Amino acid sequence: MLILFALMIGAAILFLVWGITAPRPAARANLFAGLETAADDQPEVTLLPALGRFVSRITPTTLIKGMEARLSQAGHPRGLDVPRLLAVKLLCSLFFGVTLGLVNPILGLAVGGVLFFGPDYWLATKKEQRQKLMRNDAADLIDQLTITVEAGMGFDAALMRVASTNSGPLAGELLHAVQDMRAGVPREQALRALVDRTQIPEVRQLVTALIQAQRHGTPLADTLRIQGAELRDKRTQRVEEQAAKLGTKMIFPIIICFVPIFLVIVLVPSLSNLGHVLPG
């Protein structure tokens, strides 16, 4: 029983590592990297994608679309797509659930359920980290876009310039939007798709202002300048808010780590001296 238990846990870990780190085909890698052309793609003949495609066929379309949206918002970490993610979720939950179910059915069911939704929690964490990076970069990128537009460059060319000369998730999403517009997607539709992929208030506010400016004929440079100033103010407010919370967050570590040591340093010599003073 112990040997079977160890083998199944080891197999589950191998499947998890394989599902996350398995190499992607060239076309998919080029797509995620933001390249305009894709290399020749060869069909994947691996277990995880095949199993994931089979599971995706019997999964409701609403759930598939939700997973695609979450993966897009998280930036497809490690090149994960919906079939591979479904395969990882299924294999990990089954292996650990069945293995522990041989010992305790309730424990196996609980662990299998937790591991099935574990990748979703990991994906949500990656999404939050990515959105935090984009929110921090938004003000600087908008300032660069404002300067480029005021210098006389067109909006699409300025957007391409800013996206190609910067790094980070927001620059990658801007590059994606530029490529959509080059492929024939209307500017408004490409910008709305940018909002759907980022899901941060700063980009939503900027896109709304740009669409209204385009419809009413307002100069884009003025709109960008106003939006850049607002984003800088919001970033300053976030920093001040985090600094204000720092004192409260430090209370618990101080009580747990420093107060006992301080009491030991202060009280132990006093108790030792008291022991010498009192009659034996």
Average pLDDT over residues 35-43: 43
Q: What is the pLDDT of residue 1?
A: 52
**Which of 75, 95, 128 lies at the terminal end of a domain, its last residue?**
128
| Same domain assignment for residues 203 and 182 | yes
Q: What is the pLDDT of residue 96?
A: 67
Q: Is residue 12 part of a domain?
A: yes
| Same domain assignment for residues 73 and 162 | no
State pTM to two decimals: 0.68
Q: What is the pLDDT of residue 52?
A: 66
Q: Looking at the 3D structure of the chain, how many domains does it have? A: 2
| Same domain assignment for residues 144 and 193 | yes
Q: What is the pLDDT of residue 35?
A: 45
Q: What is the pLDDT of residues 19-35, one digit of tens each?
A: 544 545 444 444 444 44
Domain span at residue 175?
132-235
| Same domain assignment for residues 203 and 150 | yes
Which residue would you say has higher pLDDT here, 79 or 179? Answer: 179
Q: What is the pLDDT of residues 117-176, one digit of tens each?
A: 878 888 888 889 899 889 888 888 888 888 988 888 888 888 899 988 888 889 989 999
Q: What is the pLDDT of residue 167?
A: 86
| Same domain assignment for residues 110 and 151 | no
Q: Is residue 254 part of a domain?
A: no
Q: What is the pLDDT of residue 102?
A: 64
Q: Is residue 241 part of a domain?
A: no
| Same domain assignment for residues 103 and 160 | no
| Same domain assignment for residues 103 and 140 | no
| Same domain assignment for residues 60 and 107 | yes
Measured CA to CA, the distance from residue 159 to residue 142 in angstroms comes to 9
| Same domain assignment for residues 116 and 138 | no
Q: Is residue 96 part of a domain?
A: yes
| Same domain assignment for residues 80 and 165 | no
**Which of 111, 128, 145 lies at the terminal end of a domain, its last residue?**
128
Q: Is residue 245 part of a domain?
A: no
Q: How far is Cα of residue 261 from the mean position of the Cα atoms in its chain?
A: 39
| Same domain assignment for residues 109 and 150 | no
Q: Is residue 243 part of a domain?
A: no
Mean pLDDT, the chain, integer = 76
Q: What is the pLDDT of residue 98?
A: 65
2-8, long-range: CB < 8 A, 24+ apart:
4/99, 4/102, 5/99, 5/102, 5/103, 8/95, 8/96, 8/98, 8/99
**Which of 94, 128, 162 lies at the terminal end of a domain, its last residue?**
128
Q: Is residue 21 part of a domain?
A: yes
Q: Is the pLDDT of residue 257 over 70?
A: yes
Alpha helices in the chain (DSSP H): 2-21, 26-33, 47-58, 61-73, 82-103, 105-150, 155-164, 169-182, 187-198, 201-216, 220-253, 259-277
Q: 64: pLDDT confidence band, cut at 50, 70 and 90?
A: confident
Q: Is residue 13 part of a domain?
A: yes
Q: Give the domain CATH number at 186.
A: 1.20.81
| Same domain assignment for residues 83 and 185 | no
Q: What is the pLDDT of residues 84-129, one digit of tens each?
A: 888 777 777 776 666 666 666 777 777 777 777 878 888 888 889 8
pLDDT over 90 percentage in the chain: 1
61-73 and 187-198 are packed helices; what angle lies between their axes, rounded to 10 degrees? Answer: 90
